[in-house]
Structure 1
Amino acid sequence: MATAIPVLPEPQARALASAYAAAVSVRRWRGAAVLVTIILLALVSGYLAHVRPVTLVTNIGNFGSFIVRTIPDFSSGNLLADMRAWYWNFPAWLGLLGQTILIAYLGTLMGAVAAFALCFVASANLARSRWSRVGARRLLEFCRTVPDIVFALIFVIAFGLGPMAGVFALAIHTTGALGKLFAEVVENIDMKPVEGLQATGASWIQTVRYGVLPQVAPGFASYALLRFEINVRGAGVMGFVGAGGIGQEFLVAIRNFYYSDVSAILLMIIATVIVIDLVTEQVRHRLIGFEGAR
């Protein structure tokens, strides 16, 4: 049986079409205004930061020439010997690279534990009081606002040269970064299990343990692994201020213009980060149930 489709009267249809066109026009003007504002802010920021396209184009060759100088000369008839000469200090560099990874691991572990302890207090839906939430939030902001290299320099002055300064610096910065991410994960949970536990008289700790933790555990682990990748790169810079790892050897090579050593160490760092990224990516995908990792 055919169903008749009602047709609006012509004046009403024109009014609705005009209202729709006006709404679309307003949205387009708003989008254009936002885009223009972003472009203007970018231009002003570039001007104040002395970003000059002409200078970039003029001096881009210096960057390329430096990269070319770091590549050693290889001969087809003596390739193996050239590779050995390029990585002449491989055992020592490998040991320092391993130290860098351990610094990143320990700093990530300590920071993740501290962030785990603070995130529930810092979340709006679980905080017992407004003041405890504000205090936890401000503490996390302080930890992640101060650059980790500054923390490393302070700890080097306090405790002397060595990996311990790098571990503590990464741990503090990781606490601030992961604490915010963990708190946002907690704030996005389903509150029905929490309300059910509270209705049965469960304590705050029991509510977190049985109503919140099962929901947030995969997200916490995923963010912690991601932070470990970031900390491996960060730990590689800690050696610049004497906080251990391969960064100090890398800085020595740059300062003394040991070009082949610069490229050798840099390639080791890049390869390590790639391997860690691939491994942790698979682990993260399995934790969150991503089908592409299977």
Structure 2
Amino acid sequence: MTPISPAIHAQEAAFRDLRRQRRRATLIGAAVLAVCLVAAAWVSESSPATLIAGLPRIGEYLGRILPSLEWRNLFAGAETEGSIAFWFYRLDAWLLLLLETAQMAALATLMGAAAALVLAFPAARNLGAPRWVFVLTRRVLEATRTVPEIVFALIFIWAFGVGALAGILAIALHTTGALGKLFADAMENVEMRPWDGTRASGGTWAEACRFAVLPAAAPDLLSYAMLRFEINLRSASVIGFVGAGGIGEELYKVISFNYYEEISAIILLIIFAVMIIDLTSERLRRRVIEAVA
């Protein structure tokens, strides 16, 4: 036992020293993070006093946009105050606008996802695209997802005029960059043995991408695309504020004129639309997983 004791003591000492180093690094990192947060709060003029002062106003605004429902009139007609029908008195018009917004988001997601899928293969590090192609593709994806949709929308409105086309193109361009990165990351995580087997049997690079990588990554690609559809529905609502069509224009109008209960009604419709998309996404993803399993 005696010859082993010094080795054990040395290992324990090394472990304690390593633990002290990690604790020191953690404390230094936490201190740097705290300094950065304080600096960011100071630059952005955010302070606890400002937040505390603003919280009651947020509560007051939320109280104003909530409907004045009455139980005895809850299911009465649209002419009766306190009823659900009175709250959603413009439901037919809002549903048409929401349908237009969903169509904008769906078309933009489809266009962006198709472009992202094409660009994701050369952007995946493990698929062996030429170095210059890999770098160029990555930079293009970074550029398109860095610029906010609303900036693209303003540019396209200037080019194509006010309407849904500007919003669709803006969302599609931003979606290309966002999904291209996610698609490439999903492809980098697939098992490479099917790829090696396809290439060893004489398959081309494109055939290996199609038959070895795409089936393995398909569930994740579909999940990312449907998640982006949810995000794009929200984006299509927001860029309507600058005249790009959809329910966003109506939401901007009711906010501008302080039609408080209409604000909550429209927001609730958008939330329900996102919930439906999420449920649909889960079902589609399960079917794809079952198909490729």
Provide TM-score, normalisation by structure 1.
Answer: 0.91
SS at match of 2:127: coil
Paired letter, 2:22: R
CA contact (8 A) 1:120 1:127 kept: no
Q: Which residue of 1 aligns with 2:224?
A: 223
2:47 to 43, 52, 55: 52
Deviates more, 1:118-127 or 1:238-247: 118-127
Identity %: 44
Tell me the CA shift for residue 13 of structure 1: 2.1
Deviation at 1:127, TM superposition (A): 4.1
Q: CA deviation at 1:7?
A: 7.2
Q: Please tell me the residue identity of whatever aligns with 2:13.
A: S
**Partners of 2:91 and 2:41 in 1: CA distance:** 42
Within the candidate set 26, 30, 45, 1:31 is matched to 26
Match of 2:17 in 1: 22
Separation in structure 2 between the aligned mates of residue 14 and residue 76 of structure 1, nearest angstrom = 75
Question: Measured at CA, do residues 191 and 254 of structure 1 come closer, stay the same or move farther in structure 2, by a change above 3 Å?
Answer: same
Residues 1:210 and 1:71: Cα distance change in structure 2 (over 3 Å): closer
1:121 partnered with 2:116: no
8 Å CA contact 2:236–2:246 kept in 1: the answer is yes
Asked if 1:11 is matched to 2:15, the reply is no
Q: Which piece of structure 1 moves more, 35-44 or 178-187?
A: 35-44
Gaps of 5+ in 1: 1-5, 290-294
- Give how far 1:78 is off: 2.7
State the secondary structure of the residue aligned to 1:171: helix
Shift of 1:215: 1.5
- Work out the CA distance in 2 between the residues paired with 1:185 and 1:99: 31
Q: How does 1:68-147 map to 2 (within 5 A)?
A: 68-79=63-74, 80=76, 81-82=80-81, 83-147=84-148
Task: Provide the rounded CA distance (Å) in 2 between the counterparts of 1:72 and 1:216.
Answer: 45
Query: Aligned partners of 2:180 and 2:238: how far apart in 1?
Result: 23
**Which AA in structure 2 matches 1:44?**
A
Deviates more, 1:133-142 or 1:83-92: 83-92
Alpha-carbon spacing, 1:58–1:180, altered in 2? closer, same or farther (3 Å): same
Q: 1:13 to 1:91 in 2, by over 3 A?
A: same
> Once structures 1 and 2 are overlaid, which stretch shifts more, 195-204 or 59-68?
195-204
Of 36, 39, 44, the match for 1:41: 36
Tell me which moved more, 243-252 or 153-162.
153-162
CA-to-aligned-CA distance 1:191-236 (integer Å, 9 cap, x gap): 2222222223222111212222222122211111111111111111
Q: Which residue of structure 2 aligns with residue 198 of structure 1? A: 199
Aligned residues: 284
What are the within-5 Å matches in structure 2 for residues 256-275 of structure 1? 256-275=257-276
Structure 1 equivalent of residue 59 of structure 2: 64
Q: Deviations over 1:98-126 (max 9, x none)?
A: 11111111110000000011111112222
Shift of 1:57: 0.8
Question: What TM-score comes out, normalization by structure 2 length?
Answer: 0.91
Distance 1:90 1:141 in 2: 40
- C-alpha displacement at 1:285, in angstroms? 4.8
What SS class does the counterpart of residue 201 from structure 1 fall into?
coil
Alpha-carbon separation, structure 1, partners of 2:29 and 2:289: 35
For 1:71, the aligned partner's letter is L
Distance 1:8 1:192 in 2: 48
Alpha-carbon distance, 1:288 to partner: 4.6
What amino acid sits opposite 1:38 in the alignment? L
SS of alignment partner, residue 125 of structure 1: helix
Query: 2:215 matched to which residue of 1?
Result: 214
